[in-house]
Amino acid sequence: MSKRRILLKGDTFNRLTFLQDTEPIRSGKRFVRGGLFMCGCGITKPYRIADITSGRTQSCGCYHRERASTHKMSKTRFYKIWQNMKMRCGNPKQKDYKYYGARGIQVCKDWQVFNKFQRDMHLLYLLHAQCHGEEDTTLERINVDKDYTLQNCRWATHKEQQQNKSHGGTN
């Protein structure tokens, strides 16, 4: 017989916080110990305590809904710019890798995730595109020998970017 784990009000497991024991919960043909839990998103409901303490249940379902939601930008030029930036720095088979990744140019940790790149650069992209057109809005590193970071990147026209090239290749 396994030991019964004592839970205290406020004990937290992933996104779920224990509030109190409940009446036993039916599990198949038998009843098991249940508890009332509040999820980090605010939803409160009963769960099998064994499912919570084992990690089988980690949230009310909000975690999976968050992960399943998409940015709906995968067909946009902005998204393609982000993808190309990552490919130039991280894929040796990409034709321009020799000018970026092979030279040690990297994409900062935050921008490895599209939503963080979007958070930092999308509004500026839209403003630049409004003035110069989407096709003439390019991502430029201010210092061509440094990484892609918020501090070292801006939106530029093709002409502006041509004036900021390194002598070893394209920017």
Clarify whether residues 85 and 17 are in a common domain: no
Span 88-141, pLDDT tens digits:
999 998 999 999 999 999 999 999 989 899 999 999 999 999 999 999 999 999
pLDDT at residue 23 above 50? yes
In this model, does residue 170 exceed pLDDT 50? no
39-75: per-residue pLDDT in tens? Answer: 888 899 999 999 999 999 999 988 777 665 567 888 8
Asked whether the predicted pLDDT for residue 171 surpasses 60, the reply is no
Higher per-residue confidence, 167 vs 166: 166
Looking at the structure, do residues 81 and 157 belong to the same domain, yes or no?
A: yes
Average pLDDT, the chain: 89
Question: Residue 129: its pLDDT value, please?
Answer: 96
Q: What is the total count of domains within the chain? A: 2
Clarify whether residues 64 and 85 are in a common domain.
Answer: no
**CA-only gyration radius of the chain, Å:** 25
Residue 27 placed within a domain = yes
Specify whether 110 is located in the same domain as 154.
Answer: yes
Residue finishing a domain among 68, 94, 113? 68
User: Is 3 inside any structural domain?
Assistant: no
- Cβ-count burial 68-101 (b if 16+ within 10 Å, e if not): eeeeeeeeeebbebbeebbbbbeeeeeebbebbb
**What is the domain extent for residue 90?**
77-162
Residue 92 lies in a domain: yes
